[in-house]
Amino acid sequence: MDNLIIQYKSTQIIHEHFMKILGFLLAPIHAVITNLILFCNYIVIRHRHEVHPSLVAMLMIWSIFGTVFWSILLKIGGLAFLHGKKVLHSWMVHDWGTSFNNRLMMRFRLSCKPFMINYGSTYVITRVSVLKFLKGGTKGTFKILLTLGSKK
């Protein structure tokens, strides 16, 4: 049990430093990928007859690849968050031997946060991040089409 506390806190510190270094890139990357997908969808839907067919095919591939790639990364981040919560919950139901150890692990468990891919509280990847991303892409495409109006 003592090794578990030391190892978990050490891993948590490493993870926090890693998120401080790379976490600030999450929101800009998310914005760039989302805008790239929206741009590709708009050009393919609205201007497919005005551009070369190979460009339309390339934009469709970019849109599909960007959606699948970012969805997979968001899903992995959501699973990491879910498994982190499961680990902390499993410590609550585990019998640690003595009542002192059980109380110690209960207090330790309450002091721990589940591992998650985040940048502070501004951008946190959870289980529903994939759904929000896909909803935003679909909703954003229709909003762009409605906002920019029909061709005349």
Please say if the pLDDT value at position 2 is more than 80. Answer: no
151 is a domain residue: no
The pLDDT of 132-136, averaged and rounded, is: 91
152 is a domain residue: no
How many domains does one find in the chain? 1
Please say if the pLDDT value at position 149 is more than 80. Answer: no
CA 69 to chain centre: 11
pTM of the model: 0.81
Question: What pLDDT score does 55 carry?
Answer: 93
94 is a domain residue: yes
54 is a domain residue: yes
Percent of the chain whose predicted confidence (pLDDT) is above 90: 36
141 is a domain residue: yes
DSSP 5-39: HHHHHHHHHHHHHHHHHHGGGHHHHHHHHHHHHHH
Domain range for 129 is: 2-146
70 is a domain residue: yes
48 is a domain residue: yes
Please say if the pLDDT value at position 13 is more than 60. Answer: yes
